[in-house]
Structure 1
């Protein structure tokens, strides 16, 4: 019986292979563009930031076993900041 982690990694493999086949700048520019658009667009822009947050969380979960303590801390901080931006955009005062 395979573990939940192995199932998650196996399900993610096709998407990771597609991402690996792209030029290195493409995923970065896509994340940057979605994040900027999400922050700039009033109203529904938070959805774009939420997509980036979920993508970053997915990458964090995939890489977790191979990361050192400081690397984990930094990546969790990035996901937390993206989540804070998402919540702030979704529920403004």
Structure 2
């Protein structure tokens, strides 16, 4: 029996989630802050790429947790993803 798309993504993500759980929370938060700082302080194409990385990460986590979230949690996380994507697009588009 073939696995669904969601099951394949969850199985492929399991080792990465385990690695993330092994990293101390302060280190993971610090890495996110560094990427966001690059997004805010770097020149135009690099800032867009940094926010694109953040958007991909947030989208991946949103996809993995979607079924366990309530409606308000889904809406808030979609808002964060939309904002990050919008900032990435603005950063990638030349002036």
TM-score band w.r.t. shorter chain: over 0.9
| 1:39–1:46 Cα contact (<8 Å) kept | no
User: Which residue of structure 2 lines up, in the alignment, with residue 39 of structure 1?
Assistant: 40
1:27 is the counterpart of 2:28: yes
- The TM-score, its normalising length taken from structure 1, stands at 0.93
1:16-35 per-position Cα deviation (integer Å, ceiling 9, x unaligned): 00000011122222112101
SS across alignment from 2:3: coil
Distance in 2 (CA, whole Å) between partners of 1:28 and 1:78 is 16
What are structure 2's unaligned runs of at least 5 residues? none
What are structure 1's unaligned runs of at least 5 residues? none
